[in-house]
Amino acid sequence: MSDATIQTARDAGLVACTQCGRVHGAQETMCVRCGAALSSRDETSLQRVWAWWFAGLICYIPANIYPMLKTSTFGSELDNTIIGGVIELIDYKSYGVAFIVFFASVVIPISKFLAIAYLAYSVQYPTTLPGKVRQHLYETVEFIGRWSMIDVFVVAILSALVQFNFIVNIHPGIAAVSFALSVAFTMLSAQSFDSRLIWDADEDRRT
Amino acid sequence: MTAHDPALDALIACPACDALHRDAEVPVGEQARCRRCHTVLMAPREGAMTQIVMLSATALMLMVAAVFFPFLKLNVAGLEHSSSVIDAVLAYSDGLLVPLSVALAALIVILPAVRLIAVIYTVGPMMTGYAPLPAAEKAFRLANALKPWAMAEVFIVGVAVALVKVAGLATVSMGPAFWAFVALVLVTTLKDTFMCKLTVWKTLETRRQ
């Protein structure tokens, strides 16, 4: 079926619920089916996306500089940053796990920053990727974001487990906090994005 | 225009891209997708309500076991130390890191549990044919909003990574809570695949009238 035959709720002068799909008259403000707030398009969406995006980016910097993990062995202390932890795993020859940690704490956060920025940019300025691809990109970002938390959990488990007073002790570092915040902020950034904007921009370009 | 305009009842809009569709009955076992962005709109299944409630109840019971039983046991040069999920949560409980401890408790235990309870509260009465409980809509909206924040499965992968990290340092053995947690993640994932959001909303609406 060609795109020309598709009519949106907004075209029809209606407003749809993004939670349950129920269609309402334009003046309704609350969904009669599920009680969610209604708005044809979320005008503040992009502002919120960028605000959370910058907050996330700011937290991501100290997360990489400061230690994530503090290991003290017989009184001598060793600090590990995120990258340091990955390198240590490679030294242990656990390449698979090193890859998982690297992917979750470096590749996913950085590509998420880029992807959200691109999506927010693409609804205001002309871009080349078709709507379907950008919709997929958005869904991927939403799905994958939470997996960045792996490293924070690893640190928590290690610190709970490795508590042998004088022999070896592991404590969490301050980077664990800023990394967790960074992940939470980028998740909020992705959730603030109104995916209907992708398709509006697509339509405007054709006409 | 009133809230119950019959013409609007016959329509459904894609939550992702706003495209309008006629709200046709979808046969059990099949999927209805948005014709523009291909988001799954509806995917009803035979006996889904019962399965959702049963799986949620199972997950809730597993959660109790997963939280309180010993999770992992570590052995270094004769010294033994076992820890439960509660210990992992409390790992951040000194000084500056207290907020992180609270956040971890929320992500690993509290939010997944709240989500399960909210789903049972919403779908439970409908499974047996009763009218929905008061504020069932609120509960189900809460369950949907919490979905990205319930991170039990991410925690399990974290455990696997942590195990590899300490493997060189000590002998590790898994306690009963570890297996309870793995089962919990599987059951929750299964429940989420059975659950069709739009079908639940539509059933809620019809049962209310």
Nearest to A20 among B107, B155, B198 (CB): B198
Ramachandran angles phi, psi of B82, nearest 5°: -115, 150
Q: Does B38 sit within 8 Å of A198, measured CB to CB?
A: no
Ramachandran angles phi, psi of B13, nearest 5°: -110, 140
Q: How far apart are CA B192 and CA A141, in angstroms?
A: 19
For B25-40, what is the mean pLDDT?
Answer: 85
B22 exposed, middle or buried (CB, 10 Å; 0-12, 13-18, 19+)? exposed
Angstroms from B99 CA to nearest CA on chain A: 8
pLDDT band at B65 (very low <50, low <70, confident <90, very high): confident
Nearest to B144 among A19, A92, A154 (CB): A19
Instruction: Please count the residue pairs, one from chain A and one from chain B, whose beta carbons lie less than 8 angstroms apart.
Output: 219
Angstroms from B113 CA to nearest CA on chain A: 18
Judging contacts by C-beta atoms under 8 Å, the chain A residues touching residue B189 are none
Candidates 1.10.45, 1.10.287, 1.25.40, 1.20.140; correct CATH number of B47-208?
A: 1.20.140
pLDDT tens-place string over residues B117-149: 999 999 988 888 788 888 888 899 999 999 889
Nearest to A180 among B81, B100, B161 (CB): B100
Distance of CA A17 to the CA centre of its chain: 23
Where along chain B do its domains lie? Answer: 1-44, 47-208
Q: How far apart are CA B158 and CA B195, in angstroms?
A: 26
Closest CA to B177 of B82, B67, B81: B67
| Closest-approach residue (CA) in chain A for B1 | A25
> Over its length of 207 residues, how does chain A's per-residue pLDDT go in tens digits?
445 577 888 888 888 888 888 888 888 888 888 888 888 888 888 999 999 999 999 999 999 999 988 888 777 888 888 888 888 888 877 788 888 888 888 999 999 999 999 999 988 888 778 888 899 999 999 888 888 888 888 888 888 877 776 677 888 888 988 999 999 999 999 999 988 888 887 776 665
pLDDT tens-place string over residues B186-208: 999 888 888 888 888 888 888 87
Q: How far apart are CA A176 and CA A69, in angstroms?
A: 8
Q: How far apart are CA A169 and CA B90, in angstroms?
A: 15
Whether the CB-CB separation of A43 and A200 falls below 8 Å is answered with: no
**Locus of tokens 């793995």:** B182
**B110 Cβ partners below 8 Å, 6+ apart?**
none
For B52-79, what is the mean pLDDT?
Answer: 86
Q: Does A87 touch chain B (CB under 8 A)?
A: no
pLDDT tens-place string over residues A118-141: 999 988 888 778 888 899 999 999
Residue B91: which H helix or E strand, with range?
none
Is pTM beyond 0.80 here? yes
Q: Does A161 sit within 8 Å of B74, measured CB to CB?
A: yes
Whether the CB-CB separation of B11 and A191 falls below 8 Å is answered with: no
pLDDT tens-place string over residues A130-177: 888 899 999 999 888 888 888 888 888 888 877 776 677 888 888 988
Q: Does B158 sit within 8 Å of A157, measured CB to CB?
A: yes
Where along chain A do its domains lie? Answer: 1-40, 44-206
Q: Roughly what angle, to the nearest 10 degrees, separates helices A175-192 and A45-65? A: 160
- Tell me the CATH architecture of domain A44-206: Up-down Bundle (1.20)
| Closest-approach residue (CA) in chain B for A39 | B18
